[in-house]
């Protein structure tokens, strides 16, 4: 990987350990780290997205020898790459614990972290795991995540770590763990119980448990807490490890001038601690099944629409309690991240409600949502909100007004630009400044894959339309297309849009085999990983040159601000 001129041997005084420094995180240090995160959040001006650029890469896609990217050495190496290439943003997908299908947009909790991201090497450095266990690790593929194999191995390692913790007398670690549990009790207690009960029931959805547990009978819950106390504590400890490592990485990135962009899906999974714990906040029947579910209506791209299956919110109840759950959710997300991208923003103006028993989306209807009341309540509680509104697709004036009145930048995707209409809002000459622009998102093909496509899964255009788009693209970008991914990157960085984000696959010029997700496809997604050798100094230099040329580095922005003052 790349050497970093700014990397220091010792971690910053207020943060947990930096790259693999064996270092127990005391209670005082833990509290200081969270105060740091909160102070950054509350001082952020949501209307001030300075001219900058960054890379989209989910941590599961990082390299490493344990089958999946994690928060260990490769994450810090990637921060080195960002720093060397003068990027100031690292965007990730939702970090929650994934369920069936391994989608980060269908998690068991909107608050908890994915324990598969815990670095085993950091646990060895912290004295919580013997290096012998790592030496005995099985062989994993380098370019794909084998989630089943990774779960089997990492879950076993985490059980070993918890057993060691229970037999350890280290008072600092126990104090830090106790402080973590106390700070996050508002979601941690119910989540740990949910996961313990889910394991005890063989992984089935919560609404298939015994009726007393489905309906959260107080006596049944208290009995479960006693019967599964060890399993509950282990879930809490694993969350402690995840958060400790995440905040260490975040502090290291922030010290370098790199901000983290996270992702808040508008909806949560039905089989989640959130829905089980708060059934009155969702539209469910007496058996715990959704009466209506989320999706989008039929359109040019799909004759039956998209059936997502997420339960929809009981907004009347949320209004009545002052949107307490949403305020907690956004506060938690903005402790973890510097900026949050809110997915499917148009659903805060109106959502497509599909009858709960339907398998497709045709019979849905638009139902208004109280987005203005919601974001007013969140702003009143938390202050200015560093939020990006994912406003892709057909956006109505009420959605635009909601976005603009709260000063949230919207999004544009360059792959959507080449319809042949010069007024297409995704063309760079039509960008406003207050905007976040992408070559593509996690749902798109790679730029090389998009440019060379001929048809197949995920392709919604016929061959003639594809050819027209390709021809217009080449003309617009004034290129022959030999390095179409760099043509796209240059167009974004040169635009007036304040924020430009490029998926790492496009920086590397990879084709469709590196695609992260094909929407409406149940298998084969979320698997791609970058190799250790891919992030070269030459690549960083090339990206650095364009970033500096188009004035997107932190130092250039400070000089511009000074000259204007």
Please give the angle made by the CA atoms of 479, 442 and 349, to the nearest 5 degrees: 110
The one catalytic residue among 343, 353, 469, 506: 343
What is the C-alpha R_g of the chain? 23
How far is 141 from 155, CA to CA, in rounded Å? 18
How far is 565 from 563, CA to CA, in rounded Å? 5
How far is 470 from 454, CA to CA, in rounded Å? 11
Catalytic (active site) residue 390: yes
Q: Which of 144, 264, 262 is nearest to 501 (CA)?
A: 262
Give me the helices (H) in 201-282, please: 211-214, 218-227, 229-255, 273-277
Please give the angle made by the CA atoms of 206, 209 and 214, to the nearest 5 degrees: 65
The one catalytic residue among 335, 390, 469, 487: 390
How far is 179 from 173, CA to CA, in rounded Å? 10
Q: What is the DSSP string of 521-535?
A: --SS-S-B---TTSS
SS3 assignment for 173-184: HHHHHHHHHHHC
The one catalytic residue among 358, 362, 443, 548: 443
The helix (run of H) or strand (run of E) holding residue 364 is none
- CA distances to 87, 186, 195, 239, 243 from 246, in Å: 20, 20, 21, 10, 5
Query: What is the total residue count of the chain?
Result: 565
Q: Find out whether 118 and 71 touch, Cβ atoms under 8 Å.
A: yes
How far is 160 from 246, CA to CA, in rounded Å? 21
Q: What is the DSSP string of 457-512?
A: TT--S-HHHHHHHHHHHHHHHTS-STTHHHHHHHHHHHSS-SEEEEEHHHHHT--G
- Both tokens assigned to 208: 């298939």
Q: Find out whether 218 and 225 touch, Cβ atoms under 8 Å.
A: no
Catalytic (active site) residue 126: no
Residue where the block lists tokens 């601000």: 561
Q: Find out whether 140 and 67 touch, Cβ atoms under 8 Å.
A: yes
SS3 assignment for 120-184: HHHHHHCCCCCHHHHHCCCCCCCCECCHHHHHHHHHHHHHHHHHHHHCCCCHHHHHHHHHHHHHC
Catalytic (active site) residue 189: no
Cβ neighbours for 265, distance < 8 A, ≥ 6 positions apart: 94, 105, 110, 343, 344
- What sign results for the dihedral spanned by CA atoms 207, 208, 211, 214? negative
Q: What is the dihedral of CA 193, 195, 200, 202, to 10 degrees?
A: 160
Q: Which of 431, 432, 450, 453 is nearest to 441 (CA)?
A: 450
Give the active site residues: 343, 390, 443
């Amino acid at each position: 990987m790349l050497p970093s001129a700014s990397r220091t041997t010792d971690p910053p005084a207020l943060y947990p350990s930096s790259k693999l420094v064996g270092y127990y995180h005391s209670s005082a240090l833990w509290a200081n780290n969270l105060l740091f995160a909160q102070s950054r959040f509350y001082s952020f001006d949501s209307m001030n997205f300075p001219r900058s650029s960054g890379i989209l890469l989910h941590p599961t896609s990082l390299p490493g020898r344990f089958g999946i990217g994690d928060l260990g050495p490769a994450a810090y190496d990637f921060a080195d790459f960002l720093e060397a290439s003068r990027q100031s943003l690292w965007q990730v997908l939702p970090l929650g614990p994934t369920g069936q299908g391994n989608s980060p947009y269908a998690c068991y909790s909107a608050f908890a972290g994915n324990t598969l991201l815990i670095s085993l090497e950091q646990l060895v450095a912290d004295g919580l795991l013997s290096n012998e266990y790592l030496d005995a690790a099985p062989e994993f593929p380098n370019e794909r995540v084998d989630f089943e194999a990774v779960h089997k191995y990492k879950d076993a390692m985490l059980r070993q770590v918890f057993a060691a913790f229970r037999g350890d007398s280290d008072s600092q670690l126990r104090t830090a763990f106790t402080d973590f549990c106390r700070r996050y009790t508002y979601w941690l207690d119910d989540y740990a119980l949910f996961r313990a009960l889910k394991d005890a029931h063989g992984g089935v959805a919560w609404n298939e448990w015994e009726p007393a547990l489905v309906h959260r009978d107080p006596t049944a819950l208290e009995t479960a807490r006693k019967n599964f106390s060890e399993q509950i504590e282990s879930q809490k400890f694993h969350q402690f490890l995840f958060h400790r490592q995440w905040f260490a990485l975040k502090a290291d990135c922030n010290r370098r001038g790199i901000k983290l962009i996270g992702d808040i899906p508008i909806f949560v999974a039905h089989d989640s601690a959130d829905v089980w714990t708060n059934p009155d906040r969702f539209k469910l029947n007496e058996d715990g099944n959704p009466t209506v579910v989320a999706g989008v209506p039929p359109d040019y791209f799909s004759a039956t629409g998209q059936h997502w299956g997420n339960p929809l919110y009981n907004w009347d109840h949320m209004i009545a309690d002052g949107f307490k759950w949403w305020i907690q959710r956004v506060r938690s997300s903005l402790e973890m991240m510097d900026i949050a991208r809110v997915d499917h923003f148009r659903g805060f103006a109106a959502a497509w409600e599909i009858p709960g028993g339907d398998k497709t989306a045709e019979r849905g209807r638009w139902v208004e949502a109280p987005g203005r009341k919601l974001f007013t309540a969140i702003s009143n509680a938390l202050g200015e909100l560093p939020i990006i509104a994912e406003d892709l697709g057909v956006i109505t004036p009420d959605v635009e007004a909601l976005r603009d009145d709260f000063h949230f930048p919207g999004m544009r995707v360059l792959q959507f630009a080449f319809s042949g209409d010069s007024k297409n809002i995704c063309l760079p000459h039509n960008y406003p400044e207050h905007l976040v622009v992408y070559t593509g998102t996690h749902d798109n093909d790679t730029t090389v894959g998009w440019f060379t496509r001929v048809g197949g899964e995920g392709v919604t255009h016929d061959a003639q339309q594809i050819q027209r788009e390709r021809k217009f693209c080449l003309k617009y970008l004034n290129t022959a297309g030999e390095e179409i991914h760099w043509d796209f990157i240059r167009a974004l960085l040169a635009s007036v849009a304040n924020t430009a984000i490029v998926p790492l696959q496009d920086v590397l010029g990879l084709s469709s085999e590196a695609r992260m997700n094909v929407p409406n496809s149940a298998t084969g997604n979320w698997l791609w990983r970058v190799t250790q050798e891919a992030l070269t100094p030459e690549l960083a230099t090339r990206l650095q040159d364009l970033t500096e040329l188009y004035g997107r580095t932190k130092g250039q922005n400070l000089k511009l601000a000074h000259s204007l003052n």
